[in-house]
Amino acid sequence: MAYFLALPAILFAAAGNLPAQVRHPISGRVIAPVMGASGADWLVRPEREAEENPELAIKLLNFQPGMAVADIGAGVGYYSLKIASLVGHTGKVYASDIQPEMLRMLRKRVEKAKVRNVVPVLATETSTGLEPGVADLALLVDVYHEFSRPQAMLKSLHQSLKPDGRLVLIEFRKEDPTVPIREEHKMSVATVKQELEPEGFVLEKVLPDLPWQHILIFRKAGYTSP
Ligand SMILES: C[S@@+](CC[C@H](N)C(=O)[O-])C[C@H]1O[C@@H](n2cnc3c(N)ncnc32)[C@H](O)[C@@H]1O
């Protein structure tokens, strides 16, 4: 019984043909469906630079040579490739995704760019696929709201991070009705906090600088800055 209670509540639409809605068991948030490989073009659309300003996001996160970064839900590696040059040959980007097709496209882009420090990793619904304690920073850009098993994934992320590691979520701002993204693909700061804090993370900072998204930086509970 406890096993069933731990799973997200599933609500079936009355019409029967509509897809079932999966909700987070604590917040009640409707979990968004995973973006399929046909969404890959949207991830590399030319307007993305202006709409999301990823260069600013990367600057604010202060990547340093030698860092091990886990790009979780990396898609086709839009962020992985940008970060790879900053962490350099002494660092690494683990590009983890649940879809083999996304990883196939990512590998092609990595090869074309002749980048050697991006390591593709096949994740599952409940695991990052990474070794324990490997990452200085885990980055989830437009991904967390798609996790079908968010609590299990957060447990796995907790294990994948070093004791002083940062967990960073970049999510479209639910608080802002002018952000032109479907509701289930947006997240508010309050909901993210409500879902992450019971899983052993503490919100350290919210950066509001991006046009449409907020950057939420978490640490493991119990971490004290030196
Ligand atoms: C909207 S895309 C964002 C891709 C990339 N972060 C970017 O900003 O370009 C979301 C990605 O998360 C992946 N994803 C969803 N659930 C996942 C999980 N549990 N573990 C790893 N990847 C996941 C999907 O396969 C998809 O590639």
Q: Does 31 reside within a domain?
A: no
Q: Which of 143, 157, 185, 215 to mutate to test the pocket of ligand 1 (most atoms within 8 A of CB)?
A: 143
Q: Does 22 reside within a domain?
A: no
Q: Are 98 and 34 in contact (CB under 8 A)?
A: yes
Helix%, strand%, coil% for the chain, nearest 5: 35, 25, 40
Domain that holds residue 187: 47-220
Domain count of the chain? 1
* pLDDT at residue 15 greater than cutoff 50: no
Q: How far apart are CA 138 and CA 155, in angstroms?
A: 13
Q: Does 23 reside within a domain?
A: no
Q: CATH number, domain at 57?
A: 3.40.50.150
Q: Does 204 reside within a domain?
A: yes
* pLDDT at residue 12 greater than cutoff 50: no
DSSP secondary structure letters along 53-112: -HHHHHHHHT--TT-EEEEET-TTTHHHHHHHHHH-TTSEEEEEES-HHHHHHHHHHHHH
C-alpha 34: how far from chain center: 12
106 Cβ closer than 6 Å to some ligand 1 atom: no
73 Cβ closer than 6 Å to some ligand 1 atom: yes
Q: Does 9 reside within a domain?
A: no
Q: What pLDDT digit, counting tens, does each position of 66-111 carry?
A: 999 999 999 999 999 999 999 999 999 999 999 999 999 999 999 9
Closest ligand 1 atom to 185 CA: 1
